[in-house]
Amino acid sequence: MIFDRTGVVVVGGGHAGVEAALASARLGVETVLVTGEPAKICTLPCNPSVGGSAKGQLVREIDALGGEMGLLIDATSVHVRWLNESKGPAVRALRAQADKPAYARAARAHLEAQPGVTIVRGMVDGLVASGGAIRAVRTEDGRSIPARAVVLATGTFLGGKTFRGDEVRAEGRFGEAPAVGLSGALARLGFPLGRLKTGTPPRIDKTTVDPARMAVQAPSDVPLAFSYRRSPAFAGPQLPCWITVTSARTHALVRANLHRSPLYGLDLIRGIGPRYCPSIEDKVVKFAHNPSHQIFIEPEGWDEPTLYVGGFSTSLPADVQLEMLHTLPGLEECAMLRAGYAVEYDFVQPTELRHSLETRRIENLFHCGQLNGTSGYEEAAAQGLLAGINAARRVRGERPFLLERTDSYVGTMIDDLVTKGVDEPYRMLTSRAEHRVLLRHDNADLRLTPRGRELGLIDDRAWEAFVARRERLERAISGAEATRVTEEQIAGARLAKGSTLADALRRPEIGTADVASYFPSSLENDEPERIAIEIKLAGYVRRQRLAVERAARVELEEIPDDFGYETIAALSREAREKLGRHRPRTIGAAARIPGLTPADVAIVSLFVHRHRTRREDERGREGACA
Amino acid sequence: MRASGDAARAISARVFRSRGTLRPRYATLGSILDAEGLEIDRGLGLFFPAPDSYTGEDVFELHVHGSPIVVGETLGALLAAGARLATPGEFTRRAFLHGKLDLSAAEAVADLIDAESRSAARAARARLAGGLLAAVDAERVKLDAILAELSGTLDFPDEVPEPPRERLAGELVAIGTGLETLARGFEVGRLVREGVGVAIVGPPNAGKSSLLNALLGDDRALVSELAGTTRDTIEESFALDGGVRVRLIDTAGIRSHADRLEAAGIARSERALEGARVALVVVDGSRPLDDEARALLERTRARPRVVVFNKRDLGDAGYEGREPPEKGALAVSVLEPADVARIRSALRDAVGIDAPDLERPHLATARQADCVHAALRALERAQRTLDDGQPIDLLAGDLVEASAALGELGGDAATEAILDAVFARFCIGK
């Protein structure tokens, strides 16, 4: 194989790597994806679900920009439903359960069908840099792949170690060899490495559970889709999920076996685990007052023999896991096909990165996904997309493509990562997005598809469909202000004479279904709902836009890249050190660095201002006063 | 007068001549010279080399006699020697830039500078001690607890149930009540810091000037003409027994004999009343009340006031014959110290605030009050969102805003805007 035309090398074939490789190749750059096992591309090694609160927004944003995740899950989901339907349009999100093998096959097929992508089997253990820029990657078997830009998307494989009780294996995930050399290669380039931990629950034989003893979670009975680029359609028969609960018996087993836990008793794990995805041990120890925890039983595919035991992540020994499973209603006689485990892996603090996800230390080197300390498929895919776009733009000599907190969850996440760093695996949450009324699941296309088109990731067909949709929505929204509603009472709400469709929709009691007949018949899919959301939220959206404009003042106040914090006496030593390390791009980003006081930020702002005006105002150094 | 900056030493050499050289941080007697080298005045010069000065830069200070002419000429000499006028708050801003002050200290300094009365100084100190922050934080903690619960149910819908709306409504009301108490406290703080405005109004010859002098009494030494007051009123101030300072807004100080028209008199007293919390109405009690006096009593009836029937020593025709009787009116002679004490005590009652009120935490600056009001407005929106039956996510947005507003009060979100506001409160030269 000849690699000398290679522009971008992507290391890793998970969600981040796949998005990165596809985006890079679609931007016209020859791209090589190096993975230890091509058959395991996008295997969804943990839960079978994609989307959910905040993560659903990420999937929509990836899709709106021209990424792949939405298409992949829509084509392979065995169960889709809305979350947070009653809690507000800005937090509503889709969650789907994937058929895992189908999802992986689809991902691989998309990669193979993409001109410009070459999949290469290999474990990368060396990074070749010179002159402060990355030049090539080296594989364990001695091959060197030259690259003008490299995207590292290595997941949990860096120095990966798995734990079940006292059984410790060198693994990136179940049954797969870890990447051993790459951590050292990163360290040699000067990157400080940290250690994080995550875990996965046991899988059980679906023929050995009793669904009658569990509560059913039914999938949506209408087809729902993440992607804006396909009409919603069921990917196949829709399967239910189930809910069961832990009891005092389960908790007693956990407590009785804590001495066999690699985290609590054996003290084998140094990495920090996610608070947002606690293991069952954590739940029992840290939330001892809860008499019971919900456990979610989810299919892993149409023909997969396994069920995923959600909320039951554990690293206790396999025999204890089975005993614990048997305390759950419906699972009393279940057979465990694979034990849960904890996995510990190296990560590089994302404060090493610019907002483009390029490292500050080494030019043309990009980090994404769990390597940056995040957890979750969606978080990884979103970073992969951005890293792939920016790596390709680097090769093409173009300016980086940046998203902001005010335009997307992706932008919010990346800003969180690069300005704050992580001290536990980072998960996207709606509460991290201060502008979430604007950043909705429903309007991701309006926010980002024009950006994706500019990038060159939205093809003509998708673009034309988007433009037509945008026009339909705009027309229908202004039309709603003019359409008279004839009823005086709808859904229990009294309407004044002469009320319009918009007036009706502004009433919280009235939903789209109540006034369906007034919408133009040209609307498709979820469009009536989107119009209702725009109208219902108009006041809140207006307020949020004002807040965004106010924030923009500090947000856009740029700090020169070489700004000399060490000369500012008014800053504490700690503040100087933090600022020097994080190198915030703007005053707004500086304000979000943990541990910096507002006074520190104010001082920086004053000095940045002074830095700018100094040359014009040398006289400004003297002052007199009566 | 103070000059700060790299050129301070050079400037000192141009405008100040003494026998020896200036010893750091020692006061030296010498001559202040104008641009031609002629002596303007004799005064004290002090030099503070960087970084051991207020601003952290080289600082040169001149202590001169207080005559406006001398001050003006000295300033001229400094400017001629290469200095420029400082912008408002620039000295403190420079001190801040050189690590001499943190933000809260800078704000507190601003208050100390403003604080004329003992009570205001105490309030500024109490605030530094963090009493206010604790009071604000108590409300913020409650807000954040609700937010945490909402975030929980939004981000982990499978695990955290949606909180009942009735309970949320009750909690929001309780937080609102706490914040309103704080907001009311700001009014008290402002009155103490700025002094309570008391307008002396009354017809000519009622004895306003004598009353003014009697009230100022021993405090006379503290009397000053404050900058920024309108040209035809004069403000003087004294402390009431409770420690609260009173600003006397006196229209009697201006006498334009050519302008004896009733309308002009009314206009003047109206202007004085505008800025006042309490009216001190002075009429001549020795004679039956004239129309102007009656009109004035009528106009001020609805507001907090003290009515003084003056010139008791000359007769009581006005006091006895008043129609309708003035409740709480005092018949006095300003020549009697006991009568003046009665007026002071009546004023204290009418003002209704004593310095001890300040020992409770209260908002001391307009910025802090703005923060609390912003939080209250966000809270009201949240309540409306809840009452309207809107989804709880929208509630969360308003609560985040309320919490952020309170956080800003504690300095959590200092921005250039806050700094501008803080530094702009420094008057030139302080």
DSSP string, B290-332: -HHHHHHHHHTTTS-EEEEEE-GGG--HHHHT-SS--TT-EE-
Q: Are A589 and A522 in the same domain?
A: no
What's the token pair of residue B145? 């607890």
Higher model confidence: residue B325 or residue B409? B409
CA distance B246 to B269: 18
Instruction: Give the domain CATH number at B67.
Output: 3.30.1360.120
Determine the pLDDT at residue A367. Answer: 98
pLDDT > 60? residue B412: no
DSSP assignments along A222-289, one per residue = S---S-TTS----SS----EEEEE--HHHHHHHHHTGGG-TTTTS----SBPPTTS--HHHHHHHTTT
How sure is the predictor about A18, in pLDDT bands with cuts at 50, 70 and 90? very high
Q: Which residues in chain B touch residue A86, judged by CB atoms under 8 angstroms apart? A: 162, 391
- Which of the pair, A50 or B274, is modelled with greater confidence? A50
CA distance A430 to chain B (A): 6
Alpha-carbon distance of B191 to B62, in angstroms, equals 34
Per the domain annotation, does B101 fall within a domain? no
Same domain, B6 and B154: no
- The helix (run of H) or strand (run of E) holding residue A41 is none
What pLDDT is attached to residue B232?
Answer: 40
What pLDDT does B266 receive?
A: 58
Task: Judge whether A531 lies within some domain.
Answer: yes
Burial readout A218-249 (b: 16 or more C-beta within 10 A, e: otherwise)? ebeeebbbbbbbeebebbeebbbbbbbbbeee
Where a domain ends, among A546, A580, A613? A546
CB neighbours of residue A531 within 10 Å: 26
Cα separation, A50 vs A60, whole angstroms: 11
Q: Are residues B178 and B218 in the same domain?
A: no
Q: Please state, in angstroms and rounded to a whole number, the distance separating the CA atoms of residues B33 and A243.
A: 90
- Domain end, chosen from B50, B85, B120, is at B85
Q: H or E element: which one contains A10?
A: strand A8-11
SS3 B239: strand
The answer to whether the beta carbons of residues A603 and B97 sit under 8 Å apart is yes
* Structural domain of B163: 131-189+365-424
Q: Is A11 helix (H, G, I), strand (E, B) or coil?
A: strand
Domain final residue, candidates B85, B103, B118: B85
| B395 neighbors A515 (Cβ within 8 angstroms) | no
Report the alpha-carbon distance of residue A406 to residue A439 in Å, rounded.
8
Inspect the interface and report whether the beta carbons of A86 and B157 lie closer than 8 Å: no
Quick: pLDDT tens for B142-197: 888 888 888 778 887 777 788 899 999 999 999 999 888 887 776 676 676 667 88
Q: For residue A88, is pLDDT > 50?
A: yes
* Sign for the pseudo-dihedral over CA of B219, B221, B226, B229: positive
The highest-confidence range among A288-302, A559-573, B275-289, by mean pLDDT, is A288-302
Distinct helix (H) and strand (E) counts, chain A: 18, 24
What integer is the mean pLDDT of A33-46? 92
Q: Let me know whether A610 and A576 are in one domain.
A: yes
CATH number, position B319: 3.40.50.300
Between residues B417 and A198, the one the model is more confident about: A198
Kindly list the distances between the CA atom of residue B120 and the CA atoms of A91, A583, B426, in Å, as whole numbers in the listed order.
48, 42, 16
Share of chain A above pLDDT 90, in %: 66
The mean per-residue pLDDT over the stretch A18-33 comes to 97
Contact list in A for residue B83 (CB cut-off 8 A) is 622-624
Contact at CB, B393 and A84, closer than 8 angstroms: yes
- Distance (Å) from the alpha carbon of A128 to chain B's nearest alpha carbon: 42
| In-domain check, residue B162 | yes
Given a cut of 70, whether residue B99 has pLDDT beyond it is no
d(CA B409, CA B130): 12
As given in the structure block, the two tokens for residue A31 are 């791209």
Asked whether residue B182 falls in the same domain as residue B36, the answer is: no
C-alpha A272/C-alpha B181 separation (Å) is 44
Question: HEC states along B48-67?
Answer: ECCCCCCCCCCEEEEECCCC
Higher pLDDT, B392 or A210: A210
- What are φ and ψ of residue A70, in 5° steps? -60, -45
**How would you class A115 by CB atoms within 10 Å of its CB: exposed for 0-12, middle for 13-18, buried for 19 or more?**
exposed
Please name the residues in contact with A168: beta carbons below 8 A apart, sequence gap of 6 or more. A161, A162, A262, A268
Q: How far is CA B229 from CA A290, A404, B249, B409, in A?
A: 66, 49, 9, 30
Tell me whether residue A448 is in a domain. Answer: no
Give the nearest partner residue to A87 out of B51, B79, B162, using CB atoms. B162
Mean pLDDT of chain A: 90
B377 and B314 in one domain? Answer: no
The helix (run of H) or strand (run of E) holding residue B187 is: helix B165-194
Nearest partner of A230 among A462, A495, A65, A27, judged by Cα: A462
Are B25 and B158 in the same domain? Answer: no
Same domain, B173 and B322: no
Q: Identify the three-state secondary structure at position A221.
A: coil
CB contact under 8 A, B428 and A53: no
B274 and B379 in one domain?
no
A460: closest CA of chain B, how far (Å)? 36
Q: For chain A, state the CA radius of gyration.
A: 26
Contact flag A540-B394 (C-beta cutoff 8 Å): yes
Average pLDDT over residues B212-222: 60
Taking CA atoms, what residue in A is nearest to B155?
A53
The helix or strand, by DSSP H or E, that contains position A365, with its residue range, turns out to be strand A365-367
Measured distance CA(B313)–CA(A225) in Å, rounded: 95
Q: Which residues of B touch A598 (CB under 8 A)?
A: 103, 411-414, 418
B-chain residue closest to A277, CA distance: B156
Asked if A81 and A226 touch (Cβ cutoff 8 Å), the reply is no
Structural domain span for residue A336: 203-344
Higher local confidence (pLDDT), A186 or B224: A186
- In a domain, residue B350? The reply is yes
Percent of chain B with pLDDT over 90: 8
Residue B343 lies in a domain: yes
Q: Identify the pLDDT of residue B416.
A: 39
Is the predicted pLDDT of residue A300 greater than 70, yes or no? yes
SS3 B155: helix
- Judge whether B86 and B33 are in contact, CB under 8 Å: no
| Domain shared by A482 and A614, yes or no | no
What would the mean pLDDT of A502-516 be, rounded to a whole number?
Answer: 90
**Cβ-nearest to A434 among B1, B79, B400:** B400
- CATH code of B173's domain: 1.20.120.430
Q: What is the count of residue pairs from A and B with beta carbons less than 8 Å apart?
A: 172
Would you state the structure tokens that stand for residue A462, as one six-digit string? 């998708």
Backbone dihedral region for residue A623 (phi beyond 0: left; psi -120 to 50: alpha; all else: beta): beta
pLDDT digits (tens, 9 = 90+) for B37-74: 888 888 899 999 988 888 888 999 988 876 666 777 88
* Number of neighbours of residue A517 by Cβ within 10 angstroms: 9
Residues A128, A105: Cα–Cα separation, whole Å:
32
Burial of residue A111, with CB atoms counted within 10 A of its CB: 0-12 exposed, 13-18 middle, 19 or more buried? buried
Pairwise CA distance, residues A450 & A457, whole Å: 10
Number of structural domains (chain B) is 3
- B91 interaction partners in chain A (CB closer than 8 Å): 623, 625
SS3 content of chain B, % helix, strand, coil (to 5): 50, 15, 35
Task: State the amino acid at position A289 in one-letter form.
Answer: H
The mean pLDDT value for A109-137 works out to 96
pLDDT of residue B88: 60
ipTM of the complex: 0.75
| Range 385-414 of B in CB contact (< 8 A) with A | 388-394, 396-397, 400-401, 411-414
Answer yes or no: is B112 within a domain.
Answer: no
A478 and A517 within one domain: yes
Within a domain: A414: no
List, for residues A598-620, the tens digit of each pLDDT value.
567 767 776 776 666 554 444 44
In a domain, A269, yes or no: yes
Q: What is the mean pLDDT of residues B332-358?
A: 78
> Do the chains contact at A599 and B83, CB–CB below 8 Å?
no
For residue A262, cis peptide bond before it (omega within 30 degrees of 0): no
What residues pair up with A9 in beta bridges, in sequence order?
A32, A150
What are the pLDDT digits (tens) for A237-268?
999 999 999 999 999 999 999 999 988 878 78
Domain boundary among B355, B383, B401: B355
Across residues B203-207, what is the average pLDDT? 76
Same domain, B284 and B347: yes
Q: Count the neighbouring beta carbons within 10 Å of the beta carbon of residue A196.
A: 24
Pairing state between β A31-35 and A8-11 = parallel
Q: CB count, 10 Å around CB of B371?
A: 24
> Cα dist. B62→A624, B8, B37 in Å?
11, 12, 16
* Chain B residue numbers touching A533 (CB-CB < 8 A): none
Q: Are residues B372 and B243 in the same domain?
A: no
Closest CA to B93 of B125, B55, B63: B55
pLDDT class of A34 with cuts at 50, 70, 90:
very high
| pLDDT (mean) for B356-378 | 71
Looking at residue B334, the DSSP 8-state letter turns out to be T
Question: First CA to last CA across chain A, in angstroms?
Answer: 80
Number of structural domains (chain A) is: 3
Q: Kind and range of the H or E element at B160?
A: none
Highest mean pLDDT among A209-218, A575-584, B28-37, B236-245: A209-218
Instruction: Tokens 């750091």: give the residue.
Output: B24
Assess contact for B46 and B28: CB atoms under 8 A: yes
pLDDT for residue A277 = 74
Question: Residue B424 pLDDT > 50, yes or no?
Answer: no
Q: Is the pLDDT higher at A497 or at B96?
A: A497
- A91 near A53, Cβ under 8 Å? yes
Whether residue A70 contacts residue A449, with contact meaning beta carbons closer than 8 Å, is answered with no
State pLDDT tens for residues A447-473: 999 999 999 999 999 999 999 999 999
A390 CB-contact burial (10 Å; exposed 0-12 / middle 13-18 / buried 19+): buried
Task: Return all residues near A505 (Cβ < 8 A) that are at least 6 apart.
Answer: A480, A512, A515, A531, A532, A535, A536
Write down the pLDDT at residue B197: 82
pLDDT at B398: 85
Reading the block at residue B295, the tokens are 């009109």
Q: Is B85's CB within 8 Å of A624's CB?
A: yes
Residues B343 and B220 in one domain: yes
Q: Are residues B199 and B346 in the same domain?
A: yes
Span A565-609, pLDDT tens digits: 887 766 777 788 888 888 888 887 887 787 776 567 767 776 776
Of A310, A344, A378, the residue that ends a domain is: A344
Bigger pLDDT: B243 or A615? B243
Peptide bond into B356 cis (omega under 30): no
Amino acid identity of A461?
R
pLDDT for A342 beyond 50 = yes
- Confidence tier at A532 by pLDDT (50, 70, 90): very high
Same domain for A207 and A288? yes
